[in-house]
Chain A
Amino acid sequence: MLLELTNIHAGYNGREILTGTSIRVNLDEIVALIGPNGAGKSTVFKAISGFISPRSGKIVFDGIDITSLETNKRISMGMGYFLQGGAVFNDMSIYENLEMGGANLKKSIFKERVEGALNLFPLLKDKLNKRAGLLSGGERQMLALGMIMLNRPKLLLLDEPSAGLAPRLVKGIMEKIVEISKTYNMAILLVEQKVGEALKIAHRGYLLKNGQVAFEGLPENIKEAISGRLVHA
């Protein structure tokens, strides 16, 4: 098992959002985290990546207890965190963004991986000197993914990678996610508002309600759970 959250209680400013969340992600699998707004999906990511500290519970990543570890140490252990909608450094060029993504890599490895990222997202190739803030929504998402991919994380946390994208682009980004997972043997935990698209590519899923896992299972079972038939079963 790559990641295991056990009975996590966490929130902001004294307000508890996660009320005993338990989730696990195995090597090489894509897991969808589904739930209504306010269910705590993004909070799960913040707890995993160390942006917030859980009040109680345990987070184990790659066999190591990381519950009280700082974010940069978690990332260096092999985590990649794609922020909601795909954040980039708007004031910097595409190449400078990639430089920031691979800031901890050796020069030769960085060059090789940038080439890999540009092959994965060829649309960025001719725009390396363009300011990232001028990119379209889809291009920004690609750049954000490309930056994270440079470090070859074992686990990719994807927070709404299709947010703000036109429907025709959503399919493309989902295909890229599958390609990335297969090519680099990468486990993916995916939060997505477009539930149907997320469940199409996921191996398993969790349905989150009021900060707790209401249902866990295969994508087809999750679909049934969402329609209400299995949630209370």
Chain B
Amino acid sequence: MLLQFIVNGIVSGSLIAIMAIGFWFIYRATNLFHIAHGAVYTASAYVFYSLYVSKDISLSIALVLSLISSIIFGLVMYFIVYRPLEKKNASAGIKFISSLAIYIFMVNIIALIFGNETKILSEGLSESLSFGNIILTWIQVYQFLSFLILFILTYSFVQGTKSGRAIRAIGDNPVLFKAIGLNERWVKGMVFAIGSAIAGLASILTGIDVGIDPHIGMLALLNAVVAVIIGGIKKIEGIIIGSLLIGILQNLVIWQFSARWESAVTFFILILVLLYKSGGLFVVKKRVEEI
């Protein structure tokens, strides 16, 4: 039983990790606490619902179109809201409030159009696979494989490509990035596009399993943010370990206590990390001159 819950935890940790990678892309390059990322998550799931369930479009086409819509949501947010605020040298607080406003606005629009009740994206029970005493549904397998592929792609992209290095560089020193003549608007647009597509993927993978409602985005975002804080913003590997840790602990808490304590354990870990390891568990050691 314990092993089953640990495996379940790894799978739910994978979903947290997918969302965290999307949030990380945007936060790493812009230092922006993009709460509206949760709204992109929700909106993408509803676009998928409209295409796949309401319009009966094939799964693959609905998936691709939903991910394109996620990218558009992200780019619109950056170029219509954040970019003008950047030009006006708006403080982090103003950007945060604006992001929260976008989140509330979008969630309310979604609730108005689709209602507050849960929508089901796939009917019936999914077929399952058995590995000894451990049982996994096919959707769980897809969720984990999607995470694995995304992690490998992200790691290779960030470490091994010019664009990936640009993301690290702009997050490291945005003033120098601009001073050496690199195009910050292009890099920031790119991270919003990539991050939003990943949020869309996370929401569809989750929605197919457990359904969707207009408020799913906030919890998904908070889990992702905690994973990023636990892992430390500099290293993608840390964020993955943070996500898996949250997923496993949440499932163990569900097993031993109750599902009501699922979120509480996440924030308990967050408080512990902030108290004893405020830079995250996988922080890069720095010289005093760098701080």
- Please list the residues of chain A having a beta carbon within 8 angstroms of any beta carbon in chain B: 13, 49, 51, 71-72, 74-76, 79, 81, 83, 87-92, 96, 99-101, 103-104, 131, 133-134, 137, 147-148, 151
Contacts and interface: CB of A to CB of B under 8 A. Distances in A.
Given A91-B168, A91-B284, A92-B168, A76 B173 contact: no
A223 B290 CA distance: 36
Interface stretch (B77-85, B105-113, B177-185, B274-282): B177-185
Given A100-B165, A134-B287, A89 B181 contact: no
Contact of B162 (A49, A51, A103): A103
B175 A87 contact: yes
Contacts of A100: 165-166, 169, 177, 180, 182
B178 A92 contact: no
Contacts of B234: 91
Interface string B249-291: 0000000000000000000000000000000000010110110
A89 B176 contact: yes
B87 to A, nearest CB: 10
A81 B172 CA distance: 18
Given A89-B173, A103-B162, A133 B290 contact: yes
A30 to B, nearest CB: 20
Given A103-B162, A104-B181, A133-B287, A83 B172 contact: no
21 contacts: A51-B178, A71-B181, A76-B181, A87-B175, A87-B179, A88-B176, A89-B169, A90-B286, A90-B290, A92-B168, A100-B165, A100-B166, A100-B169, A100-B180, A103-B162, A103-B180, A104-B181, A133-B286, A133-B290, A137-B289, A151-B181
In order of increasing CB-CB distance, the 10 nearest A-B pairs are: A75-B181, A81-B179, A87-B176, A89-B172, A133-B290, A91-B172, A72-B181, A100-B169, A89-B169, A72-B183
A189 to B, nearest CB: 14
A136 to B, nearest CB: 9
| Chain B contact residues, majority secondary structure | helix
Contacts of B182: 72, 100, 103-104
Given A71-B181, A100-B166, 14 more contacts: A51-B179, A71-B179, A72-B184, A87-B176, A87-B179, A91-B234, A91-B284, A92-B165, A99-B162, A103-B166, A103-B182, A131-B284, A133-B287, A133-B290
Contacts of B173: 87-90
Which of B166, B173, B234, B290 has most chain A Cβ within 10 Å? B173
Contacts of A75: 179-181
Contacts of A76: 181
A87 B179 CA distance: 10
A111 to B, nearest CB: 15
A89 B28 CA distance: 14
Contacts of B172: 89-92
B179 A49 contact: yes
A147 B183 CA distance: 16
A81 B175 CA distance: 11
Given A83-B175, A89-B173, A90-B173, A147 B180 contact: yes
B162 to A, nearest CB: 6
Contacts of A91: 168, 172, 234, 284
A88 B172 CA distance: 9
Interface string B180-204: 1111100000000000000000000
Contacts of B289: 137
Contacts of B180: 75, 81, 100-101, 103, 147-148, 151
A96 B165 contact: yes
Contacts of A137: 289
A168 B173 CA distance: 29
A99 B184 CA distance: 16
